[in-house]
Amino acid sequence: MDIEIRRPPWQHNPAGDMRRVGIELEMNGLTLDQLAAIVSDFLGIEIHTDGRYQRVLKGDSAGDWIVELDFNLLKTMGREARDSGDLKDEVRKTAEELLRLVSEPLVPLELVSPPLPLDRLPEVESLFKTLRLAGAKGTSEKASNAFGLQFNPEIPSEDPTTLTAFLKAFLCLYPWLLKRAEINITRRLTNYIDPFPISYLRLVLSPEYWPDQAQLIDDYLKHNPTRNRALDLLPLFKHLDEARVNRITPDPLIKARPTFHYRLPDSEIDQPEWGFHQAWNDWVEVEWMASDTERLRDCSQAFLLFLEQPLNRWLGHWEEEVDKRWLSQ
């Protein structure tokens, strides 16, 4: 079966280079070292140890790949040296082992890529297939697996008008993206991908809303002082204005980077029909909407009208309207 990985309308970053995408995939079913070995063999790069719960894979021209247990406390403990003759170290060792045993059934392994140029995305698709064949398991494998696929498309411009167009497009298409993603009930019950509040939708989708950078960031922080959004813009805004973000939410887990942090899709790495292309191609619809000024304006106005009718919010199906009228293809 031929798999299409769609190209977005913007191919280059602000420096004129090919845009890049960082990818984060959660899974279990493999050990840390098995996962590192599979990725190392697939890419032809070398494994380096960074503590007991993280491996750094070096040698890719795009940068380092990371394989880790997605648990910050355990990773920190795993970097501490042990002195077998010290009683305190023996106590810490016992506590670490207990924490590991409790967490391993619940905490995923995470594969984190460096920012990859757009023309390497087919390689990601092949890597995911290799992981599936090796026994990697995703969200649907058992009820406790609230695992996600996240990716970070590099922004094509720092122009606030372009960034606002992306945000408007995402808000318009979110119900359609949510339906397409078929999010597992376990992840729906977490707060990792909470929807944007309706007051924020009304603000941003207004035809007059084309703020400067400072206002765009301030409005976002006022309504969304959290990382728990399907499209998390805090890393981007921290890259653009770190002090402004830190005044509202000094969360150390917010890493400044010039990307859109898309967190919605499940990781279904063990499903034969699932792949990176599905979530990516749906994201590209957001980009095409953002690039089409007239379609974005008309879709925003139609969605606002939909939201202003209370029954629509409970019984309506905006995602069906998107399918019928607002997609690029």
- Residue range 206-251, pLDDT digits in tens: 999 999 999 999 999 999 999 999 999 999 999 999 999 999 998 9
Q: Distance between CA atoms of 148 and 276, rounded to whole angstroms?
A: 12
pLDDT score of 169: 98
User: Could you tell me where the DSSP H helices lie in 26-86?
Assistant: 32-43, 72-78
The pair phi, psi for residue 148, each rounded to 5°, is -125, 160
First to last CA, the chain: 20
Q: Is-contact 56 50, C-beta < 8 A?
A: yes
Q: List pLDDT tens digits, range 101-147.
A: 545 555 789 999 999 999 999 999 999 999 999 999 998 766 566 78
**Alpha-carbon span 22 to 263, nearest angstrom:** 12
Which single residue is written with the structure tokens 């034969």? 272
For every residue of 169-216, DSSP letters joined together read HHHHHHHHHHHHHT--HHHHTSSTTPPPPHHHHHHHHSTT----HHHH
CA dist 36 and 150 (Å) reads 19
Give residue 105's pLDDT: 54
Q: Which two tokens stand for residue 283?
A: 């994201």
Residue 318 exposure: Cα atoms within 13 Å on the Cβ side: 24
Rounded Cα–Cα distance for residues 121 and 11 (Å): 13
pLDDT value, residue 96: 46
Sign of the C-alpha dihedral, residues 37, 42, 47, 53? Answer: negative
- Displacement of CA 117 from its chain's centroid (Å): 17
In degrees and rounded to multiples of 5, residue 134 shows phi and psi of -85, -10
Return d(Cα 156, Cα 145) in angstroms, integer: 34
- CA 277 to chain centroid, in Å, comes to 14
Residue 316, pLDDT score: 67
- Mean pLDDT of the 187-216 span: 88
Give the pLDDT score at 183: 82
What percent of the chain has a predicted confidence (pLDDT) above 70?
82
Residue with the bigger pLDDT between 186 and 92: it is 186
